[in-house]
Amino acid sequence: MNPAHGKQYRDWRRGVYAITDSGLTPDDERLFAAVEAALEGGLALLQYRDKSNDQVLRERQARGLAARCAAHGVALIINDDLALAARLGVGVHLGQQDGSIAAARALLGEQAIIGATCHASLELARRARDEGASYLAFGRFFASRTKPEAPPASLELLGQARALGLPCVAIGGIDHSNAAIARRAGADLIAVVHAVFAADDPARAVIGLREAR
Ligand SMILES: Cc1ncc(COP(=O)(O)OP(=O)(O)O)c(N)n1
Ligand SMILES: Cc1ncsc1CCOP(=O)(O)O
Ligand SMILES: [Mg+2]
């Protein structure tokens, strides 16, 4: 077992799930400052999402985030890159084009947090659960500035997905004005990029999202 997976994390299954964006935090200093503030605000999960091919930068930033998340007892998830997640002993988020959930489970072990993009499909969600996913991500539910081309999903899906028995993540255009709507519809975790990493005060932004009712 990877030693990092034996750590005690705060409950990651409910709350605010922040996802980094290299456009909004374009260097190490701004990335780490914003993430530290978001962690202070009380994140449930953090995802490192960098779509560049700069392996050196990705390794350095992911390691920097892993140390900061560990200091707060918050689990780190790496977007797309199973090998990087395995090197760091952290979780991974995989979309439909990012490789097999079953292979990720086999490599990372049974304690690792493995997330799956299910778009607007209960069938994709069932398949991901059966392959060993830890959470199921649906969306986008609202207009997203980060990924406007993501296929839309309807909020009723969140209620239906609860029957699958895994934590459900809602993503896409979520902010203070609509977080409570997603939560009431059945989301356990609210995943956000812009609402936290474009905010002047990411700590306050996370608190606001946590308290949105
Ligand atoms: C929590 C969460 N949900 C969905 C996604 C999207 O993943 P994917 O479809 O692979 O798209 P990219 O993020 O890789 O562009 C996510 N990253 N996190
Ligand atoms: C990665 C991703 N997948 C679907 S929407 C999205 C982006 C979410 O970002 P924002 O919270 O800024 O809409
Ligand atoms: Mg992906």
pLDDT in tens, 114-165: 999 999 999 999 999 999 999 999 999 999 999 999 999 999 999 999 999 9
Residues 6+ apart with CB under 8 A from 160: 122
pLDDT in tens, 15-50: 999 999 999 999 999 999 999 999 999 999 999 999
Q: Is 20 in the pocket of ligand 2 (CB under 6 A)?
A: no
Amino acid letter for position 179? A
ipTM of this predicted complex? Answer: 0.99
**pLDDT, position 8:** 64
> 1 C-alpha vs ligand 2 centroid, how far in Å?
32
Domains of the chain plus CATH, in order, are 3-211 (3.20.20.70)
Residues whose Cβ atom is located within 5 A of ion ligand 3 = 80, 95, 98
Q: Is 173 in the pocket of ligand 2 (CB under 6 A)?
A: yes
Confidence at 201, pLDDT banded by 50, 70, 90: very high
The answer to whether 80 touches 93, Cβ cutoff 8 Å, is: yes
The answer to whether 18 touches 206, Cβ cutoff 8 Å, is: yes
Cα 205 from Cα 42, distance rounded (Å): 10
Mean pLDDT of 163-173: 98
Q: Which atom of ligand 2 is found nearest the CA of 142?
A: 13
Cα 58 from Cα 76, distance rounded (Å): 14
The answer to whether 117 touches 135, Cβ cutoff 8 Å, is: no
End-to-end CA distance of the chain: 39
> 199 C-alpha vs ligand 1 centroid, how far in Å?
21
Which residues in 14-41 are b (16+ Cβ under 10 Å) and which e?
ebbbbbbbbebbeeeeebbebbbbbbeb
Q: Is 93 in the pocket of ligand 1 (CB under 6 A)?
A: yes
**pLDDT, position 213:** 84
**pLDDT, position 7:** 58
**pLDDT, position 191:** 99
Ligand 2 pocket test, candidate residues 77, 98, 171, 174, most atoms within 8 A of CB: 171
Residues 6+ apart with CB under 8 A from 14: 44, 167, 188, 189
Cα 157 from Cα 165, distance rounded (Å): 14
Cα 73 from Cα 159, distance rounded (Å): 29
**pLDDT, position 10:** 83
Question: Rounded to the nearest 5 degrees, what angle is found at the Cα of 175, between the Cα atoms of 171 and 179?
Answer: 70
For the chain, percent of residues with pLDDT exceeding 90: 95
Give the three-state DSSP class for 190: strand
By DSSP bridging, strand 75-79 and strand 45-48 are parallel
